[in-house]
Amino acid sequence: MQTVRTEDLLENFNLTLVAGRDGVHREIITSDISRPGIEMTGYFKYYPRERLQLIGKTEMAYYLDLPDAAKKDRAERLCTDITPGIVVTRGMDIPEEMIEAANNSGVPILQSPRKTTRVISRLTNYLEAKFAPFTAIHGVLVDIYGVGVLITGQSGVGKSETALELVKRGHRLVADDSVEIRQEDYDTLIGNSPPLIEHLLEIRGLGIINVMTLFGAGAVRSYKKIAMIMNLETWDQKKQYDRLGLDEETLKIMDVAIPKATIPVRPGRNLAVIIEVAAMNFRLKRMGVNAAEEFSDRLTTMIEQEKDDKE
């Protein structure tokens, strides 16, 4: 999990630092955002002081109607030693009581010109992505016709060579060798490359090549949602491989089950074409067209007709 500080919000969003400059290095430890409406009334028993606080039009209007002594009290109690910051939306003016309390306690006050709902949505999405569960897997991630395909298998089985062929066929490389994966939602896995090897591909006998330099910016992308897994393994004569596609195998990564297919590797098989077709077939399945099920239904219908003819 990455470390997120209040200064990161200043760098990534259209925010203006109004007060509390000494606290911009404070760490944000949760993606939850609090709107301190009930706290403005003076009830701080359950005040989530470790969260980023967001003050919108309603909270500010109530605050401005308070007596001067109450304004000072609320501002001082909002600004605790672990509060990472206070965001004020709609470009509203910050009362002097808040500025004074923020400067004394070192709590940054950030002003945004955007509407409250827009600010909450963007900040939440940003923090959720930063705090998402994280893991790394040995494999290659390629964007094929908009489908994120994670190619796995033993070292030397041909993952990188297959990815190179896919790039030559017009698809886009996301990561080679090591794929960093974060779970951004209960059913969503996003894969990207470690910064050190981004856009690089290792081909045995050839070495390291820069895919973006060789094939252009259209041949790479920074991240992609993982939709399916293609596992490459050396052909085993004793093993029975799926020939119809009716059995759908899945692999669980963190809390998400991803559809998985095993592709046997042997001389003469064009793995890039097989994986390309698998990605297209996956898209068809999501659109409601399943060739394996259609074949099974046709077979069942023919068997039933033969039985009826015999009777």
pLDDT digits (tens, 9 = 90+) for 7-16: 999 999 989 9
Predicted pLDDT at 244 = 58
Averaged pLDDT, 236-254: 75
- Residue of 45, 238, 239, 243 marked active site: 243
Domain end among 108, 130, 152: 130
155 domain-assigned? yes
Predicted pLDDT at 165 = 94
Percent of the chain whose predicted confidence (pLDDT) is above 90: 69
Residues 161 and 262 reside in one and the same domain? yes
Residues 24 and 52 reside in one and the same domain? yes
Question: What is the domain range of residue 140?
Answer: 134-295
Count: domains in the chain: 2
Predicted pLDDT at 63 = 95
Residues 11 and 104 reside in one and the same domain? yes
Averaged pLDDT, 144-165: 92
Structure tokens at 214: 């060789």
Predicted pLDDT at 129 = 85
Predicted pLDDT at 249 = 85
Residues 275 and 164 reside in one and the same domain? yes
Q: What is the CATH number of the domain that holds 227?
A: 3.40.50.300
Residues 146 and 266 reside in one and the same domain? yes
pLDDT digits (tens, 9 = 90+) for 291-306: 767 777 787 788 778 7
pLDDT band at 186 (very low <50, low <70, confident <90, very high): confident
Q: Active site includes 243?
A: yes
- Residue of 49, 51, 71, 159 marked active site: 159
pLDDT band at 242 (very low <50, low <70, confident <90, very high): low
Asked whether the CA dihedral 59, 65, 69, 70 is positive or negative, the reply is negative
Find out whether 285 is annotated in a ligand binding site. no
CB 85 within 8 A of CB 107: yes
Q: Active site includes 242?
A: no
Find out whether 153 is annotated in a ligand binding site. yes
Averaged pLDDT, 162-174: 94
- Residue of 21, 138, 204, 286 marked active site: 138
Find out whether 148 is annotated in a ligand binding site. no
Find out whether 158 is annotated in a ligand binding site. yes
Residues 209 and 239 reside in one and the same domain? yes
Q: Where are the alpha helices (DSSP H) in the chain?
A: 6-12, 37-40, 57-64, 68-78, 96-105, 116-130, 159-168, 211-215, 271-286, 291-310
pLDDT digits (tens, 9 = 90+) for 272-292: 999 998 898 888 888 877 776
What is the spatial distance between Cα 232 and Cα 122, in angstroms, rounded to a whole number? 39
Q: What is the DSSP string of 6-36?
A: HHHHHHHSS-EEEE-GGGTTPEE--S-EE--
Find out whether 207 is annotated in a ligand binding site. no
Q: Active site includes 238?
A: no
The backbone torsions φ and ψ at residue 226, rounded to the nearest 5 degrees and listed phi first, read -85, 120
Furthest-apart CA atoms within the chain: distance in Å: 96
Whether the predicted pLDDT of 216 surpasses 60: yes
Q: Active site includes 255?
A: no
pLDDT digits (tens, 9 = 90+) for 85-126: 999 999 999 999 999 999 999 999 999 999 999 999 999 999
Find out whether 121 is annotated in a ligand binding site. no
Predicted pLDDT at 126 = 92
Q: What is the CATH number of the domain that holds 95?
A: 3.40.1390.20
Domain end among 130, 156, 184: 130
Structure tokens at 287: 């659109």
